[in-house]
Structure 1
Amino acid sequence: MDLFETIMFPFQWLVSIIMVGFHEGLSAIGMPPASGWTWTFSIIGLVLVIRAALIPVFVKQIKAQRGMQLLQPDLKKLQDKYKGKKDQLSRQAMAQEQMALYKTHGTNPFSACIPLLIQMPFFFALFTVLAGISPAKQAGEGIGAMSPEQVLQFDASTIFGAPLTMALLHGGAENISVTVLTIVMILAMTATQFITQKQIMAKNMSEEAMASPFMRQQKMLLYILPIVFGVGGINFPIGVLIYWTTTNLWTMGQQFFVIRRMPTPGSPAAKALAERRAAKGLPALPNPGSKKDPHAEAAAAAAIAHAKGQRVQPHRKKRKKK
C-alpha cells in the first residue's frame, strides 16, 4: 500500500459507510437494491451528509470572505504606499502591515479554499472506491464497508443505460449513454460552478472590492476553473460526476441564500435587501462593516509600528566638541 492509498484508506471507509447506510435505508423503503437509482441517491446522500457537516466551516468562510472584501480599499492604499519599493526592508514592512490588516478584519487570503480542501479527500475517496469496484468484483471481495454482494450490485447498476463506474475515457466512449450523460453532467457541473461564482461577483461585492487587483485574479479564475473541471470531467466515472454536480448545486443554493439574506455591506445585494425591508416598513439592518474592534485595531497599529521600527536608521557620526 503506497502513501496515497494509506492516506485515502480511512476516507474510503467513511465514504463507503455513508453510501451503504443510505443504500440499506433506501432498500428498506422499497427501492431495488441493485438499481442504479438506489446507488445514485446514496451518492447524493453522501453529498448531503458531507456538506451539512461543513456548514460551520462555510459560516467561517463567509466571514473571512467579507473581511477580505472590506479590507480591499486599505490593501490598495498599502500597495500604493510601497509601490516601487523593492528593497528587503520595505517588503518586510509591507508584509507585516498586510498581516496586520488581515488580523484587523479577521481574515486571510486562503480562507475561501478551506471548504474545497476539506472536500477533496472525500472526492478522491469516492473516485478510488468506484475505480476499485471492478477489481473487487473480480477478486470476489468487498471494498471499504461494501460487501462483495453490494460490489456486484454497484458494478451492474446503471442510470439511463450508463454504468455508474464507467468514465468516458475509460471504456465509456463506446457506450452512447455514457457519452451523452457524461457531456450533460459536465455541462451541469461547470455551469453550476460558474453561476455560483458569477452571482457572488455580480451581487455580493462592493464597487471598491470589484476594482481591486485581487478581484481581477478572481475574474480570471471564474472562467479558467470551469474549463479545468470540464476537461478533467471526461476522466471521472458517472458516479463521481453525480457527486460533484450535486455538491455544486448545494453550493449554488447556499450562496443564493446568503446573498439574499446576509449580503456583504455596500454590495448590490445589500442595497436590494435594504429596499425590500423598506418596502415592508422594517428598519434597516446595522452595517457590520461600520463596527470596528478596538482590540484588533490596537493590534494592527502595534504591528505597523513594529514594522516601521525595524527600519535601519543611518547613524550620525559624533561631532567633536569644540
Structure 2
Amino acid sequence: MIAANPLSPAFKVLLDAIGAALAFLYRYIPNYGVDIILLTLAIRVLLLPLAIKQIRSMQAMQVIQPKVRELQRKYKGKKDATSRQKMQEEQMKLYREHGVNPFGGCLPVLAQFPILIALFGVLNIPNGLPHVRAHVYTGPQNPAYSQLYQDLTSPGQAKGIHFVGANLVCSAREAGTGKVVVKGKGTIPTVEKDCGKGGGVRIPFYLFLVAMIGTTYYQQRQMQRASPAQNQQQQMLTRIMPIFFGFIGFSFPAGLVLYWTTTNLVQIAQQFYMLPRGAVVEENGDRSARPKGGGNGERRRELRRRPTREPGPPRAEDRGQRGGERSGREKPVEERGGGGSVGPGQGASGSGGRRGGNRKKRRKR
C-alpha cells in the first residue's frame, strides 16, 4: 500500500506532484483514460535520456561479448580464487579499453524506478486518492477538492472515469459484479465502484489485460536483440514474466493496466528507432556487431545507403578486363602457331589464333 506507507517525505512529494498533474489534466480534459495516457507520455519523454543511455550501454556490451566469452573459455575449469580474480581483472581491463561500463545498463533503470513506482501508486485507486485530492480553497472555511477526486469518489463514478467501455477504477476481477464498496482507512476514503453487470462488461477489461501481456512480451523480446546472449533461465523468465504480470494485473484497477500498456508501447517505439541506429562500431570499423532485426525501416535505410551502378556504356577497365580474358583463352592455340588439325569445338579459337598471329606480323613490319 504505497499511499498509506510513509516511505519518505521526498517520495510523498513526488506522489503528490504526480497526483496534482493528473488532476490538472483532468480539469481541462475530463477523460481519465486520456489523461493517464498523456501523463505517461510526458513522463516517458522526461526519462528518454536515461532510456537512450541504457540501450547504448547494452549495445556496447554486445560488441565486446565475443571477447568476453573468449576470456571465459580461457579460464574455464579454473575454480581457484587466484584465477577467478585474474579473470575479473582482465574483464575490467577489457571494459576500460572499449569504454564500456558493465553497470551502465542497470543505472538508468534504477533511476526510473522512483518515478514509475510513484505513478503506479497514484493510479492504484483507492490507495492513490489522497494524492489527487488537491485542496483548492475558494474561501476561508470552504475547501473544494479537485474535480478528479470528486468524480473518483462519487457513487457510480462519473462518465469521465470510463474509457472505451471500462470503468478504470474497477479491475477485471470486479467487472460485471455490480456495485463494489471498498472501505477506506486513514487518509484513504471509502469508494463505491460501479463495475457493471453481465458478461459483456468484462470484454474491455480482458482486452486491456491481453494488450498488457502482449506488449510486455514483445518489449522484452525486442530488448534481447540489444543485450548479450542470454542463458536458458533468463529466456524462460522472459516468457513467464508477461504471464505473471497479467495474473497480478487481473486484480489491479483498469487505469493501472492502461498505464502499464501505454508504457510498453512507448518503450517499443523508442527501441524500434534506437536499436538499429545506436549500434556501436568496433575499432576496425566493422559493423557486423549490429543487433539483428530493427524492422523493415532499417532494411530500407540500408538499401538506400548502398551505391547503385547507373546503366551506361561499359567502362574502359571493364573492356580491358574482358579483352584480357579473351586473350587468355586464345593463347594455347596461338602457341601452336595456328596450324595443325583443329579438334572439335576449337574452330573459332583456331581462327582467332591465326588472326592474332597475322596482326602481330603486320605490327612487326
Shift of 1:23: 2.0
Contact residue 142 and residue 148 of structure 1 kept, 8 A = no
SS in 2 for 1:235: coil
Q: State yes or no: 1:195 paired with 2:218.
A: yes
Q: Which residue of 2 aligns with 1:102?
A: 95
Q: Which residue of 2 aligns with 1:276?
A: 304
Separation in 1, partners of 2:246, 2:213: 6
Q: Which runs of no fewer than 5 residues in structure 2 stay unpaired?
A: 136-144, 178-194, 281-286, 310-365
Contact residue 132 and residue 143 of structure 1 kept, 8 A = no
Separation in 2, partners of 1:179, 1:54: 34
Count of equivalent residues: 259
CA RMSD in angstroms, aligned pairs only: 3.2
Separation in 2, partners of 1:5, 1:227: 32
Q: Indicate the structure with greater helix content.
A: 1
Shift of 1:269: 4.5
Shift of 1:131: 3.8
Q: Which residue of 2 aligns with 1:159?
A: 163
Contact residue 39 and residue 154 of structure 1 kept, 8 A = no
Give per-residue Cα distances to partners, 1:16-48, cap 9 Å, x unaligned: 12212322332xxxxxx3xxxx11111111111
Q: Which residue of 1 aligns with 2:115?
A: 122
| Residue 16 (structure 2) aligned to one of 13, 16, 22 | 13
Q: Which residue of 2 aligns with 1:244?
A: 260
Q: Which runs of no fewer than 5 residues in structure 1 stay unpaired?
A: 27-32, 282-322
TM-score relative to the length of structure 1: 0.68
Q: State yes or no: 1:253 paired with 2:269.
A: yes
Q: Indicate the structure with greater strand content.
A: 2
The amino acid across from 1:17 in the alignment is A
Contact residue 12 and residue 129 of structure 1 kept, 8 A = yes
Separation in 2, partners of 1:39, 1:219: 36
Contact residue 171 and residue 251 of structure 2 kept, 8 A = yes
Question: Structure 1 residues 74, 237: CA separation in 2 closer, same or farther (over 3 Å shift)?
Answer: same
Give per-residue Cα distances to partners, 1:217-258, cap 9 Å, x unaligned: 553333122122222211321111111101111111111112
| Residue 183 (structure 1) aligned to one of 206, 216, 226 | 206
Identity of aligned residues (%): 33
Q: Which residue of 2 aligns with 1:320?
A: none
Separation in 2, partners of 1:159, 1:230: 20
Q: Which residue of 1 aligns with 2:349?
A: none
Shift of 1:70: 0.8
Shift of 1:187: 1.5
Question: Structure 1 residues 105, 10: CA separation in 2 closer, same or farther (over 3 Å shift)?
Answer: farther
TM-score relative to the length of structure 2: 0.61
Question: Structure 1 residues 181, 113: CA separation in 2 closer, same or farther (over 3 Å shift)?
Answer: farther
Question: Structure 1 residues 12, 144: CA separation in 2 closer, same or farther (over 3 Å shift)?
Answer: farther
Shift of 1:6: 5.0
Separation in 2, partners of 1:107, 1:98: 11
